[in-house]
Amino acid sequence: MFERNDDVLYICYDNEAYMNTGVQRSSATPPGARTATTMAVGEHPGAEFGQGKNLPRIAMAHGIPFVATATVADLRDLEAKVEKAMGLHGARYLHILVPCPLGWGAAAHDTIRLARLACQTGLFPVFEAEHGDVSHVTKIRHRVPVQEYLRPQKRFAHLFGTPGHPEMLARIQADADRNIRRFGLLDEASEPESETVPAGGLAPGEAAGQARPGRGA
């Protein structure tokens, strides 16, 4: 569809696993997460690092007219992106993060908070891209460490406690930092809430797109 630039709007409802069939790992399952097929056992419990797929970036690589990400924490942003996509022709891709209380092991009333924290940590960048180039990003207003997002979810419970897996938390934090640098999610004047947050692996100044203030991050 993407390589042919078919006139289709593809909306991905992303809850990060195959939830309807028993919470099995999918290519969208984040590293370290426990699922029915990635148990919290062994030296490196949960889903493995480096095996997932970043679908928005795959779509961008095809240079299609429009790619965007959104979450259920900011419905106005989501509505605006759907409206924009509907007004375009060619292949369009919209990726929506939707926490699953059952599969994530989180309270239903925390659904919106978790979606917001995914953005505030940098683990889920909210942006738009046109013809392969990032055109708008939603800046992080209040940056938080990944632990604040992971701890309320039972699928990550094995990363905490004694002894826990601080080395895996550090790798997840590094992924968030890499997203922040890649997409330019922080203003230069913004200060992270934790000075112990490790830096990502990209060169300084690798930021893309034009900032647009966001309601949900």
| Residue from 153, 134, 154, 143 nearest 57 by CA | 134
Q: Which two tokens stand for residue 59?
A: 């779509």
- Return the pLDDT at 63: 97
Name the DSSP letter for residue 108.
G
Do 114 and 99 form a contact (C-beta atoms < 8 A)? yes
Contact 126, 216 (CB under 8 A): yes
Q: Model's pTM, two decimal places?
A: 0.85
Distance separating alpha carbons of residues 216 and 113, to the nearest angstrom: 9
**pLDDT for the residue 80:** 98
* Helix, strand, coil % in the chain, rounded to nearest 5: 30, 15, 55
Show the low-confidence residues of the chain (pLDDT under 50): 193-213, 215-217
Give the pLDDT of residue 191: 52
Can you tell me the distance from the alpha carbon of 174 to that of 147, in angstroms, rounded to the nearest whole number?
12
| pLDDT for residue 140 | 97
Supply the pLDDT for residue 196: 41
